[in-house]
Structure 1
Amino acid sequence: MSPSFFQVSSKLWLINGGKQRDERIQADVELKEHLQSFVDETNAQHGPGFIKVVRHDKQEGLIRSRVSGWRAATAPVVALFDAHVEFNAGWAEPILQRIKEDRTRVVSPSFDNIKYDTFEIEEYPLSAQGFDWELWCRYLNPPKSWWTQRNHTAPIRSPALIGCFVVDRKYFEEIGLLDEGMEIYGGENVELGIRVWQCGGSVEVLPCSRIAHIERAHKPYTENLTAHVRRNALRVAEVWMDQYKSHVYMAWNVPLQNSGIDIGDISKRKALRSRLQCRPFSWFLSNIYPELRSYSDTVAYGVLKNSLRDNLCLDQGPDTDNVPIMYLCHGMTPQNVYYTSSQQLHLGVLSPTIDDDDNKCLVDVNSRPRLLECSYAATKHMKLTWMFAQGGSIQNMESQRCLELVESRQSEFTFQLVIQDCTDQKWTITNILTVLPQ
């Protein structure tokens, strides 16, 4: 296992995640004999305990590894970082000053990129740190309030954390550390950002503090990383997101009830929220992350199948074509379908923020099924509303024609989508949230 943390000075701790590496033989050499020699030599120069190493006897994952490092820390401020970062000169002092002014601040430096194949530095623009509804972290443009200051050294209010941050050691405990009920990797940084904001603290990115982060070609934690990220995301949703938890289930295409995914015991995390008297997630959306696009009008979601072939699902097809297709069901993002209370059918990924490209809607264009940006189709008064009942037809409200399948003339046993006079073809969608509009 890689080391859990280093004490880099009497004032600051640097903690990494205990992540496994692919090159296990080389890693064993570097992280055992060579590392121990380095630690011994450094401690001989600066005194016992100047650097401490915590090792685990089994894989604990990123979240619990970082918390174990925090437990061994004694300095007043802790810094939790990935192992694959490089620190610019003077990166720590601005952050320490901000935390000294207010101990409830959780502060992230600004990130630059180190290309994993060449180790070249690529400067990134100043950004806040947010997330989408799958709870993957993502870079955001700084909020308008930051730009109006005309001060590019001012702290940037940030809804979440990319994963590397500095925090008052005792405040970190008071606010609930990281959720140790999470597994392996993913979601802990988003959960911490939401929790800090809802429970009275703040999160910011500091332009005067810069580090560089290696964006690796792949994440080496486990072969089935997505399953862990999904599980952790649902755990966050159930504890912190109130009625908006449905958005996370929709984004992952998981049933809201009886998902079959064991998210573990969340009673202690709910008790933490109650004890800290935290605000609702609606407050977080309104005041901290208004850029996050809401989908509260969704009444059904999942994969959409036709009665003629239950192994085929409606699919957005190649992005550049804007022509939906029927494809073997796999349940991934291109087959995500969302039916709204305004009787629109969205297909594909949901745009995470209001500044992103709009969602794609199914439209009847001269009796041909097409995928167009919903706002554009609405502005142009195109035919984008559909009457749909579970186990019934999908009928355009204006043309009165139906989305159906016909056998392809080019290839036997294949089907293509058409819009034609309605027959008795039936469609079903995986998950119903509420009564479908009539």
Structure 2
Amino acid sequence: MGLPEKPSTVKRSRVVSPVIDVIDWKTFQYYPSKDLQRGVLDWKLDFHWEPLPERDRKALQSPISPIRSPVVPSGVVAIDRHYFQNTGAYDPLMSLQGGENLELSLKVWLCGGSVEILPCSRVGHIYRNRETHSPVDQEATLRNKVRIAEAWLGSFKETFYRQSPEAFSLSKTEKPDCTERLQLQRRLGCRMFHWFLANIYPELYPSECRPRFSGKLHNTGLGFCVDCQAEGDILGCAMRLAPCSDSRQQQHLKHTSRKGIHFGSPQHLCFAVRQEQVILQNCTEEGPDIHQQYWDFQENGMIVHILSGKCMEAVVQENSKDLYLRQCDGKASQLWRFDNVSSVDK
């Protein structure tokens, strides 16, 4: 088992799990895990173990240092009792048929805590024979997943439903009531799911890049379109509103399923942020800076900057209407629409 920490060093918002070794359910043979691993999830909301990425391995101070993990496994976790209760405990409307570890992990990360695996602590576990799972158990698990998607994934629930058509069908016949969980998120000041993708598990980010929205980007409150009015070199151009014009290439934008907003010019430029002002920068395809260029176009018309969680707003100043990031409040100057909307299912 792991060594206890001194009370003064314990963070109550940490949720920790041991390494889970496998005990064969037929022979009781013990199979210890050899490599450093972390818990992850996929777009079907299934839990997996995966080898710790090389960059994370190099960042460890020692072989027994805690491992930051996107998800904890089910069944064996250690959590401060008061923190657990004050942050909503387990979802009372989820059955204990799988998925409660995902809900707990997402809630902890999004609401200010952290999730870790402790390599120096090991627990052997006898996993159930998959063949013994009844159709009733499987449907209960699926119902739990739908509940997680509706409560925690935001607009990314559509990616889950594309991967799990049976969950999509269930969500239409049995729409879950997530009022309590949504109120909990507001009380705790939780972040949105795209923060988890950008900061905790970017490998999960959907890789499809086909444009989802395109054409002119209209501000529905002020009645103008997003434009770059700089002459010559437009790198770093501050985005602002101007009268809408079909003939201006500078107003033709594409918002991809991968969340980048691409500017309509021969240069490969994307919306980015500098000191909370929306500007044009070279599009980034990889590396840590890529998340600075991720935007979530929500059903209510707001465009959320994924890394900061703030909304794009047209700010009226003397002779200009420049675009800035502001706290999301749904005012008319934060509401947008594209000319064209295309399905993301193709």
How does the TM-score come out when normalised to structure 2?
0.56
Correspondence for 1:102 = 11
Partner of 2:58: 147
Contact 1:107 1:204 in 2 (8 A): yes
- Distance, in Å, in 2 between the alignment partners of 1:192 and 1:175 is 10
Q: How do 1:69-88 and structure 2 match up within 5 A?
A: none
Q: What is the 5 A alignment of 1:251-262?
A: 251-254=163-166, 259-262=171-174
Q: Residues of 1 paired with 2:113 and 2:100: CA distance?
A: 17
SS at the partner of 2:21?
strand
C-alpha deviations, 1:133-170, integer Å up to 9, x for none? 11111102224223333621110001111112000000
Q: Give how far 1:237 is off.
A: 1.0
1:121 aligns with 2:41: no
Is 2:88 the partner of 1:179?
Answer: no
Contact 1:156 1:206 in 2 (8 A): yes
- 2:79 alignment counterpart: 167
CA contact (8 A) 2:21 2:125 kept: yes
Deviates further, 139-148 or 261-270: 139-148
How many angstroms does 1:128 deviate by? 0.8
Deviation at 1:260, TM superposition (A): 2.9
- CA displacement at 1:341 relative to structure 2: 7.8
CA distance in 1, matches of 2:87, 2:176: 20
2:161 is matched with 249
Which stretches in structure 1 are left out of the alignment for 5+ residues?
Answer: 1-90, 301-339, 343-432
Residues 379-390 of structure 1 mapped to structure 2, 5 A cutoff: none
Aligned AA for 1:145?
Answer: D
Superposition pairs of residues 164-313 of structure 1, within 5 angstroms: 164-218=76-130, 222-254=134-166, 259-295=171-207, 297=209
* Distance apart, 1:100 and its partner CA: 5.5
Q: Does structure 1 retain, via aligned residues, the 8 Å contact 2:150–2:176? A: no
- Aligned partners of 1:136 and 1:186 also within 8 Å: no
Q: Residues 255, 127 of structure 1: CA spacing in aligned structure 2 closer, same or farther, 3 A cutoff? A: closer
Q: Distance in 2 between matches of 1:248 and 1:157?
A: 24
- Aligned to 2:67, which of 156, 164, 187? 156
* Change in 2 beyond 3 A, CA 1:262/1:436: closer
Q: What amino acid maps onto 1:251 in structure 2?
A: Q
In 2, distance between residues paired with 1:223 and 1:257? 16
Change (3 A) 1:180 1:263: farther
What is the percent sequence identity of the aligned residues?
A: 36
Q: Does 1:133 align with 2:43?
A: yes
CA distance, structure 1, for counterparts of residue 257 and residue 60 of structure 2: 40
**Aligned position for 1:62:** none
Alpha-carbon contact 1:109-1:205 (below 8 Å) kept? yes
CA distance in 1, matches of 2:106, 2:70: 7
Q: Is residue 112–residue 190 contact of structure 2 (8 Å, CA) maintained in 1? A: yes
Q: Write the distance in 2 (CA, Å) between the matches of 1:97 and 1:263.
A: 46
Larger Rg: 1
CA distance in 2, matches of 1:198, 1:242: 12
- 1:8-48 superposed Cα distances (whole Å, 9 cap, x missing partner): xxxxxxxxxxxxxxxxxxxxxxxxxxxxxxxxxxxxxxxxx
TM-score relative to the length of structure 1: 0.45
Asked if structure 1 preserves the Cα contact closer than 8 Å seen for 2:146 and 2:167, the reply is no
Tell me how far 1:240 sits from its aligned partner.
Answer: 0.9
Q: Secondary structure at the match of 1:111?
A: strand
Opposite residue 153 of structure 1, the aligned amino acid is: I
Secondary structure of residue in 1 paired with 2:106: helix
Shift of the 286–101 alpha-carbon distance from structure 1 to 2, 3 Å rule, reads same
Distance 2:342 2:167 in 1: 13
**2:121 is paired with a residue of what secondary structure?**
strand
- Distance in 2 between the 1:241 and 1:437 partners? 18
Tell me how far 1:171 sits from its aligned partner: 0.3
Q: Distance in 1 between matches of 2:95 and 2:342?
A: 32
Write the letter of the residue equivalent to 2:56: S
Aligned residues: 218
Contact 2:206 2:257 in 1 (8 A): no
Partner Cα separation in structure 2 for residue 341 and residue 206 of structure 1: 36
CA positional deviation for 1:211? 0.7
**Change beyond 3 A, Cα 1:181–1:296:** farther
In structure 2, the partner of 1:111 is 20
Higher relative contact order (CA 8 A, sep 6+): 2
* Alpha-carbon shift at residue 199 of structure 1 (Å): 0.2
